Amino acid sequence: MESYNSQVHIKIDWSEMDLFGHVNNVSYFKYVQAARVAYCGRVGINTHMPEDKLSFAVAASSCKFKKPLFYPGDIVVKTKVTWVKNSSFQLEHIIVDRDGTIAAEAEDVLVIFDYEKQSKVTVPSNVRALITEVEKRPFN
Q: Which domains does the chain have, with CATH numbers?
A: 6-135 (3.10.129.10)
For 48-74, what is the mean pLDDT? 90
Q: Model confidence at 52, in pLDDT bands (50, 70, 90)?
A: confident
Say what the pLDDT of residue 50 is.
65
pTM of the predicted structure, to 2 decimals: 0.93
Contacts of 33 (CB under 8 A, 6+ apart): none
Residue 27 has pLDDT above 70, yes or no: yes
Say what the pLDDT of residue 116 is.
87
In the chain, beta strands by DSSP E? 6-11, 54-65, 74-84, 88-97, 102-114, 119-120
